[in-house]
Amino acid sequence: MREYLLTLCVTAAVTYLLTGPVRKFAIAAGAMPEIRARDVHREPTPRLGGIAMFGGLCAGLLVAAHLSNLKHVFELSNEPRALLSGAGLIWLLGVLDDKWGVDALVKLGGQMIAAGVMVLQGLTILFIPVPGVGTVSLTPMQGTLLTVALIVITINAVNFVDGLDGLAAGMVCIAAAAFFLYAYRMWFGHGLEAAAPATLFAAVLMGMCLGFLPHNMHPARIFMGDSGSMLIGLVLAAGAISITGQVDPDALALWAGSERAAVHATVPVYIPLLLPLTVIAVPVADLLLAVVRRTWQGQSPFAADRGHLHHRLLEIGHSHSRAVLIMYFWSALIAFGAVAYSVNSASMWILLLVVVLSAVGLVLLLMPRFTPRAPRWAERFVPPRYRRKAVREVPAAVQPSAEDGEERREPVPAGLHGATVIGDRSRFAQGRKTVGNR
């Protein structure tokens, strides 16, 4: 665990330190597109944040290759090299799109090429565990097509959800954390060495997102752009494919009792990770809804609009920060709920907790203007908007008396201090007249 934490910290530190210089480079290079109709930010913001994230990825893999335990992942598997090759191609495509813009079909072709390069180097799905059936082996052609499809779907799902400050990085970080717990349990809990690359990928991905988030939280100083969103989507897909298509259920049968029992024991997370529908369920749902919506309206599935889930949260009254936190909540609930259920699928407490938290999430969705207040003792640790506003005295307003012409002082409500009161349209003006006519 210590080596994984070291890899995570190095990745996060390199990403964080590179983001500042990358921001200055993006401004100098003119990678600050004009604000579009679907954008929610007010001022032009530099992109190319994916450059810093790619630097963090390279640094994390480089450090891991020299650690005593993690270096065996590079010696026994070609998957880290496959990931780095595909990540380099998708990152370069994203940089070109952030600076000059790339046609949607060209981007789709580039994503398929990057996925194909990863497949050629061994990162592919070999078999699928199916409940009630067992292991279904795939032909090389079937494995290639399924792997490429999953990588492309995941990349575009993360790219589509990157619409608010800190949204994509935070949601992918949550997904990577849940994925890390699952993969680490498979690797060290059950001794399945084939899960080691996926565990490393999840740790590096968490570091990339955590290092970039401080610069990307609202109001964002830099955007990750397609160079970042497509990159983290590819890394997440690589980990899911590695553990789902490479871990042999025959090995799981050693601790589950039989192959069929092994498949049943891991199906709460196994099949969703294959597609993948738990760790990035919210982005995938947003992707599917966007494709259906745009196709129904006669538009291209890649045509941008303001119909995404985060746009709808803003429309019903949620603030920018609250919309992001709500998306975080649902992502964490689905991802960690699935991981917890995979550990003990017979426990009703887990299902009950998920139901209760889902009800809480629905209440938050229906109360867009509710502002929670922190307790007094915790106010110093939360942003000012969550602190209780203390009632304090304000300087008295000076006004002449109607009887003797002397100045008379009257307390001014805090909300009207410094404002000009006109005519009889306010209760404050009426109060002034009453005092003056005494």
3 state SS for 267-323: HHHHHHHHCCCCCCHHHHHHHHHHHHHHHHCCCCCCCCCCCCHHHHHHHCCCCHHHH
Question: Do residues 45 and 220 lie in contact, with contact meaning Cβ atoms separated by under 8 Å?
Answer: yes
Distance between the two ends of the chain, CA-based, in angstroms?
78
Q: How far apart are CA 181 and CA 97, in angstroms?
A: 34
Q: Which residues contact 358 (CB under 8 A, 6 or more apart)?
A: 333
**Among residues 243, 252, 251, 250, which one has the least CA distance to residue 270?**
243
Question: Do residues 268 and 342 lie in contact, with contact meaning Cβ atoms separated by under 8 Å?
Answer: yes
Half-sphere exposure of 165 (CA within 13 A, CB side): 19
Q: Binding site annotation covers 162? A: no
Could you tell me where the beta strands, DSSP code E, fall in 77-229? 127-130, 134-137
What is each CA distance from 79 to 5, 49, 227, 402, 430, in whole angstroms? 20, 25, 21, 87, 77
Residue listed under structure tokens 């968490």: 206
Largest CA distance in the chain: 101
Q: What is the DSSP string of 400-438?
A: E-TTT--EEEE---GGGTTPPP-TTSSHHHHHHHHHHT-
Q: Please classify residue 369 by burial: count the beta carbons closer than 10 Å to its beta carbon, then call 0-12 exposed, 13-18 middle and 19+ buried.
A: exposed
- For residue 362, the tally of other CB atoms under 10 A from its CB is 10
Buried/exposed 212-228: b ≥16 CB within 10 Å, e otherwise:
bbebbeeebebbbbbbb
Task: Tell me the two tokens of residue 36.
Answer: 């579009």
Q: Please classify residue 244 by burial: count the beta carbons closer than 10 Å to its beta carbon, then call 0-12 exposed, 13-18 middle and 19+ buried.
A: buried
Q: Which residues contact 145 (CB under 8 A, 6 or more apart)?
A: none
Q: Binding site annotation covers 404? A: no
Q: How far apart are CA 137 and CA 193, in angstroms?
A: 20
**Binding site members:** 159, 226
**Binding site members for Mg(2+):** 159, 226
